[in-house]
């Protein structure tokens, strides 16, 4: 190192002095001679200090040991280098350069007599950041598994028809717009209720924003079937927030299913891994919900066909029972009427016979009394005539009451017969089918192409059978 000696006043002639510029230029010379090429340096960038007006950055770097600052410096990152490095960094890591990042950077070591010591950053290794992100992601997954949270949300049961959706998204997000357009304008006119809980969707600030909205939804969870985290149209920048343990554990512990459609990421994030269901895009997520309705719609239509078959079989069975009951009642009624007629005839004959016997007995008595005195005969005859008159009236009354009783029984039977007549049953909405004039009671009696006559009240319907379904 070459220093120039300067002779001062008499009082200072025994002292050697150096100018400030001499000292600083000497230091600059030493540094230039020692640090001739750039160096790769590892450090924590606690603040980027980007100035939009100039486009330059002045990152604050620090090295800590056990929480204590061991080294600290402000560096320079000129506009041209920043734009180039940041673009490459985003493309490779999916995030922008920012505060609180561990970086591996290439820098020139400089010392200027006016501006002092500085590190001029020329390059930042994105692969180093990727390694850190991968490590943090792996640690997050392991922690979730250790705490039995990794599959917790997946194990929840999704509603059979999930209609009530709490959406965490941004109203200006293209993904949100695509999602609600599909579910609100579906061709089958399924009805959904959805409510947005606005949130940031990328970057470090999104972590707290989404956790806050999840906690808000949790308070009204009984109003929703599921939560949908929807992001789309924002590229791949800021996706590392979905690898954060606090956010992932909140999703895993959520009391209702959480589904995700957070964009076109080629590398699945932790939140996507542990969610109840994940679709690559919000559009796919919307179609998934529609598919749930379609699947159940097909099932219901199948049940409807089975029920219709059971109902028709039941009606046919009841018609057969009614027809058989009608025939039985008619036959029994005829038998009963025949028996009653026979009883009446026998009773009539019995009455006539009894009357003849009574008359004969009376005549005999009269004849026997004829030998008595005229007075006795007349008296006896009068008594017998009165007795005969009473007996005749009694027999007439008994016969009349018996006939009235039998007519009432016959009328009751006729009313019962009237109730089960087919035309009265048809009035009540029943119907029955015939083929070639024969009532259909068995599916084996029916063939495709047969002309089926359906009897209803005041008419009949003729139809042709084109398809037959048989049930076990």
Strand order in the sheet with 451-456: 438-439, 432-435, 451-456, 459-464
Q: What is the pLDDT of residue 29?
A: 87
Q: Contact at 8 Å (CB) between 247 and 271?
A: yes
Judge whether 444 lies within some domain. yes
Q: pLDDT confidence of 1, banded at 50, 70, 90?
A: very low
pLDDT at 3: 47
Please compute the mean of the pLDDT values over residues 364-370 and round it to a whole number: 67
CATH of the domain at 160: 3.40.50.2300
Residue 345 has pLDDT above 60, yes or no: yes
Does 95 score more than 90 pLDDT? no
How much is the average pLDDT of 400-427?
78
Q: What is the pLDDT of residue 204?
A: 82
- 161 backbone dihedrals φ, ψ, rounded to 5°: -125, 90
Residues 90 and 164 reside in one and the same domain: no
Tally of domains within the chain: 5
What is the average per-residue pLDDT within 106-129?
Answer: 88
Quick one: pLDDT at residue 32? 85
Task: Tell me what the mean pLDDT of segment 79-99 comes to.
Answer: 88
DSSP state of 8: -
Q: What is the band of 369 on the pLDDT scale with cuts at 50, 70, 90?
A: low
Q: Does the residue 463 lie in any domain?
A: yes
Average pLDDT of the segment spanning 143-165: 93
pLDDT(362) > 60: yes
> Taking 90 as the threshold, does the pLDDT of residue 153 lie above it?
yes
Q: How far is CA 114 from the centre of its chain?
A: 71
If asked whether residues 270 and 303 sit together in one domain, one would say: no
Residue 135 predicted with pLDDT over 70? yes
H or E segment and range at residue 44:
strand 39-47
Q: Which residues contact 76 (CB under 8 A, 6 or more apart)?
A: 56, 57, 58, 118, 119, 120, 121
Mean pLDDT of 215-242: 84
**With 80 as the cut, is the pLDDT of residue 58 above it?**
yes
Residue of higher predicted confidence among 169 and 9: 169
Region 111-123 average pLDDT: 89
**Cα 225 to the center of its chain, rounded Å:** 7
Could you say which of 223, 248, 280 is where a domain stops? 280
Instruction: Name the percent of the chain lying above pLDDT 90.
Output: 30
Which residue would you say has higher pLDDT here, 332 or 244? 244
309 plus 411 within the same structural domain: yes
Q: Which of 380, 455, 401 is nearest to 424 (CA)?
A: 455
pLDDT at 375: 62
110-114, 339-343, 350-354, range with greatest mean pLDDT: 110-114
Question: 12-21, 63-72, 82-91, 179-188 — which is least confidently predicted?
Answer: 12-21
Is there a single domain that holds both residue 24 and residue 71?
Answer: no
pLDDT at 4: 46
Q: Is residue 129 part of a domain?
A: no
Residue 208 belongs to a domain: yes
Q: Is the pLDDT of residue 88 over 50?
A: yes
Q: Which structural domain, as residue segments, surrounds residue 5?
A: 1-31
> Do 275 and 205 fall into the same domain?
yes
The pLDDT, as a whole number, for residue 374 is: 60
Cβ neighbours, 10 Å, residue 210: 26
108-112, 187-191, 203-207, 269-273: which has the minimum mean pLDDT?
187-191
Per-residue DSSP letters for 414-426? HHHHHHT-HHHHH
Report if residue 287 sits inside a domain: no
Across the beta sheet with 101-112, what order do the strands follow? 68-74, 60-65, 39-47, 101-112, 116-124
Q: Work out the mean pLDDT of the chain and round it to a whole number.
A: 83
140 part of a folded domain: no
Reply yes or no on whether the pLDDT at 179 is more than 90.
yes
Shared domain check, 345 and 275? no
Q: Measure Cα distances from 57 to 78, 82, 87 in Å.
A: 6, 7, 15
* Same-domain check for residues 17 and 97: no
Q: pTM of the prediction? A: 0.49
* CATH code of 40's domain: 2.40.50
What pLDDT is attached to residue 448?
Answer: 87
**In terms of domains, do 175 and 267 share one?**
yes
Among 101-105, 147-151, 423-427, top mean pLDDT goes to 147-151
> Which of 404, 420, 436 is at the close of a domain?
420
| Tokens encoding 134 | 């991968």
361 inside domain: yes
Interatomic CA distance for residues 226 and 292, integer angstroms: 13
Q: What is the DSSP letter of 275?
A: S
Confidence check: pLDDT of 166 > 90? yes
- What is the pLDDT confidence band of residue 431, given thresholds at 50, 70 and 90? confident
One domain, residues 414 and 437: no
Q: What is the mean pLDDT of residues 307-317?
A: 70
Same domain, 355 and 377: yes
Structure tokens at 234: 């924002």
> How many whole angstroms separate alpha carbon 87 and alpha carbon 79?
12
Residues 350 and 378 in one domain: yes
């Amino acid at each position: 190192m070459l220093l120039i000696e300067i002779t001062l006043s008499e009082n200072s002639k025994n002292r050697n002095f150096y100018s400030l510029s001499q000292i600083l230029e000497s230091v600059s010379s030493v540094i230039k001679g020692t640090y001739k090429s750039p160096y790769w340096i590892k450090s924590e960038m606690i603040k980027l200090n980007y100035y939009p007006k100039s486009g330059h950055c002045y990152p604050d770097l620090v090295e800590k040991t056990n929480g204590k600052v061991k080294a600290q410096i402000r560096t320079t990152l000129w506009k041209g280098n920043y734009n180039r490095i940041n673009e490459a960094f985003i493309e490779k890591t999916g995030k922008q350069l920012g505060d609180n990042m561990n970086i591996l950077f290439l820098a020139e070591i400089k010392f200027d007599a006016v501006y002092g010591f500085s590190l001029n950053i020329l390059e930042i290794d994105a692969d180093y950041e990727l390694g850190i992100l991968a490590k943090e992601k792996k640690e997050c997954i392991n922690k979730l598994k250790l705490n039995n949270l990794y599959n917790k949300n997946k194990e929840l049961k999704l509603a059979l028809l999930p209609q009530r959706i709490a959406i965490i998204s941004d109203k200006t997000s293209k993904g949100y717009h695509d999602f609600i357009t599909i579910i609100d304008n579906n061709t089958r006119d399924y009805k959904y209720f959805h409510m947005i809980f606005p949130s940031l969707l990328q970057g470090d600030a999104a972590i707290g924003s989404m956790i806050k909205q999840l906690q808000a939804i949790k308070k009204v969870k009984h109003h929703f079937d599921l939560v949908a985290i929807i992001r789309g149209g924002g590229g791949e920048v800021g996706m590392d927030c979905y690898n954060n343990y606090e956010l992932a554990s909140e999703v895993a512990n959520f009391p209702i299913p959480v589904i995700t459609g957070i964009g076109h990421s080629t590398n699945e994030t932790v939140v996507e891994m542990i969610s109840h269901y994940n679709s690559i895009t919000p559009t796919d997520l919307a179609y998934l919900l529609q598919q749930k309705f379609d699947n159940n719609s097909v099932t219901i239509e199948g049940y409807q066909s089975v029920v219709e078959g059971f109902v028709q079989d039941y009606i046919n069975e009841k018609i057969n029972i009614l027809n058989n009951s009608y025939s039985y009642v008619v036959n029994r009624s005829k038998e009963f009427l025949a028996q009653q007629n026979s009883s009446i005839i026998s009773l009539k004959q019995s009455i006539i016979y009894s009357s003849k016997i009574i008359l004969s007995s009376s005549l005999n008595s009269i004849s026997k009394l004829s030998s008595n005195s005229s007075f006795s005969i007349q008296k006896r005859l009068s008594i017998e005539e009165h007795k005969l008159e009473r007996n005749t009236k009694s027999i007439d009354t008994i016969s009349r009451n018996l006939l009235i009783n039998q007519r009432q029984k016959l009328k009751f039977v006729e009313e019962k017969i009237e109730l089960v007549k087919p035309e009265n049953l048809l009035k009540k909405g029943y119907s029955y089918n015939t083929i070639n004039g024969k009532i259909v009671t068995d599916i084996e009696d029916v063939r495709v192409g047969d002309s089926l006559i359906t009897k209803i009240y005041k008419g009949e319907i003729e139809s042709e059978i084109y398809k037959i379904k048989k049930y076990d």
